[in-house]
Amino acid sequence: MESIKSSTYFVHFKENGYKELNNCIADKKYSSIFILVDENSMEHCYPKFMPQLHTDIRIEVIEIESGEEHKNLETCSGIWHALTELEADRNSLLITLGGGVITDMGGFVASTYKRGINFINIPTTLLSMVDASVGGKTGIDLGTLKNQIGLFSNPQMVLVDDDYLMTLNEREIRSGMAEIIKYGLTRDFKLIDQIKYFNNLKIKSLIKRSIQIKNEVVLEDPKEKGLRKILNFGHTIGHAIESYFLDSNEKESLKHGEAIAIGMVCESYISSQLLSLTPEKTQEVKELINFLFDKVIISKEDYASILSYLKHDKKNIAGKINFVLLNDFEDFQLDCSVTKELMIESFEYYSA
């Protein structure tokens, strides 16, 4: 599969990707290579990855615990200490081998260690392949507030090998599908048809098209001043729901994509009330999400708490919560104001 060129780096696929990785390592003459994994990518992906790496350079593995609840400063501190104890210098390379938490946090740790060392993303979940590993966003959570601390910093390259997806359970795959639906609704509706009639053979083309879309958007607006905000469709409400469920003692945490899927139903409903998205198309979004994802119970008692998380959304300016909404499929409007009453109506629409 042909590589995709971003601003300062390429996204390479599979066999060609490993060749490019080995070339990159040889060209840059790194002093050491550090591979960041969690227990899942260590068990399922590392054994497949290592035989593809051909180098005499010293390699060390740093393993952290999996899960969004570990995407925080404490874990970063552990990784920085490990790098220090293992004598990582400025010419070291960090390879992130894992899902969105590993690629986001690994990129952040690398970009701040000794004012920045190189990193390469090797995403192993669908979500990190189609979204997190591409586009230069790195960061961690602050408490349960998602990605509040971080910086834009590009990897040296991204290597996408869909064989890693075979190690994932269905829930994890569906979580990644939510981001592909986002690209479909905002940029290329043909993706939605492919998802509706999904089979495993389509996964490669879904991944490639999603990365192309993300890359086009990021090339036009790398620092999210305008267009890139469309990649937040479904995320304003979705992130608030995700944080609320993460914080709650009674509720089981949601996967990122599961929360974003709910957010897309709610934000489609809001679009139909404030803009020109038709009720039929809104219903189409809801039916697709209900078909792919288990229904999540959100009750009236949850509403106020979920809304309280919205004040921390990164798109807010001067206290105003800014939504990305749809005039139609593939036609969006940025920076829309939404009342709390309408947000609550959208929760009721999702739940009905």
Distance CA 265, CA 288 (A): 9
Q: How many residues bind ligand GLY (CB under 6 A)?
A: 5
In terms of CB distance, is 135 or 263 closer to ligand GLY? 135
Count of CB atoms situated within 10 Å of the CB of 322: 18
312 is a catalytic site residue: no
- Is 81 known to be catalytic? no
d(CA 3, CA 222): 20
Supply 210's token pair: 């999603």
Least distance from ligand GLY to the Cβ atom of residue 256, Å: 10
131 binds ligand GLY (CB under 6 A): yes
Provide the β-strand partners of residue 120: 95
Q: How far is the CB of 213 from ligand GLY (least distance, A)?
A: 11
The question of whether 174 is a catalytic residue gets the answer no
Point out the catalytic residue in the list 187, 235, 255, 286. 235
Q: At closest approach, how far in Å is the CB of 254 from ligand GLY?
A: 17
- Give the SS3 label for residue 72: coil
User: What is the number of alpha carbons within 13 Å of residue 99 lying toward its C-beta?
Assistant: 26
Instruction: Give the phi and the psi of residue 93 in degrees, each rounded to 5.
Output: -120, 135
Q: In the annotation, is 187 catalytic?
A: no
The one-letter amino acid code at 78 reads: G
For the record, the structure tokens of 99 come out as 């899902």
* Residue entry with tokens 């809001």: 270
Q: Which residue of the set 29, 115, 225, 320 is catalytic? A: 115
Exactly one of 17, 98, 107, 135 binds ligand GLY (CB under 6 A); that residue is: 135
| Residue nearest ligand GLY, Cβ-based | 231
Regarding 137 and contact with ligand GLY (CB under 6 A), the answer is: yes
Q: How many angstroms separate the CA atoms of 262 and 106, rounded?
A: 28
Min dist CB 317 to ligand GLY, Å, is: 17
Q: Which string of x and - marks every residue 273-312 that binds ligand GLY (by CB under 6 A)?
A: ----------------------------------------
Backbone angle region of 244, left / alpha / beta, with phi > 0 → left and psi within -120 to 50 → alpha: alpha
The answer to whether residue 54 is catalytic is no
What lies within 8 Å, CB to CB, of 29 at 6+ separation is 91
Longest Cα–Cα distance in the chain: 61
Give the single-character DSSP code of 169: -
The least distance separating ligand GLY from the CB of residue 147, rounded to whole angstroms, comes to: 9
**Gyration radius (Cα) of the chain, Å:** 20
**Beta carbon nearer to ligand GLY, 32 or 128:** 128
Stretch that binds ligand GLY, among 115-123, 129-137, 252-260, 267-275 (CB under 6 A): 129-137
To the query of whether residue 228 is one of the catalytic residues in this protein, the response is yes
Question: Catalytic site residue 242?
Answer: no
- The length of the chain, given as a count of residues: 352
Clarify whether 179 is annotated catalytic. Answer: yes
Catalytic residue among 214, 255, 281, 286: 214
Residue 222 and residue 228 in contact, taking contact as beta carbons nearer than 8 Å: yes
Catalytic residue among 68, 179, 258, 267: 179
Rounded to the nearest whole angstrom, what is the least distance from the CB of residue 214 to ligand GLY in the complex?
Answer: 7
- Residue 187 CB, shortest distance to ligand GLY, in Å, is 13
Cβ proximity to ligand GLY: between 137 and 209 the closer is 137
Rounded-to-integer distance, Cα 352 and Cα 350, Å = 6
Binding status of residue 98 toward ligand GLY by CB under 6 A:
no
- In angstroms, the CA 314 to CA 274 distance is 22
The interface mask with ligand GLY, positions 210-239, x = CB under 6 A, is: ------------------x--x--------
* Pairing mode, strands 137-142 and 331-336: unpaired
Among the listed ranges 4-12, 131-139, 192-200, 331-339, the one in contact with ligand GLY (CB under 6 A) is: 131-139
Q: Which residues bind ligand GLY (CB under 6 A)?
A: 131, 135, 137, 228, 231
Cite the active site residues. 115, 137, 179, 214, 224, 228, 232, 235, 239, 256
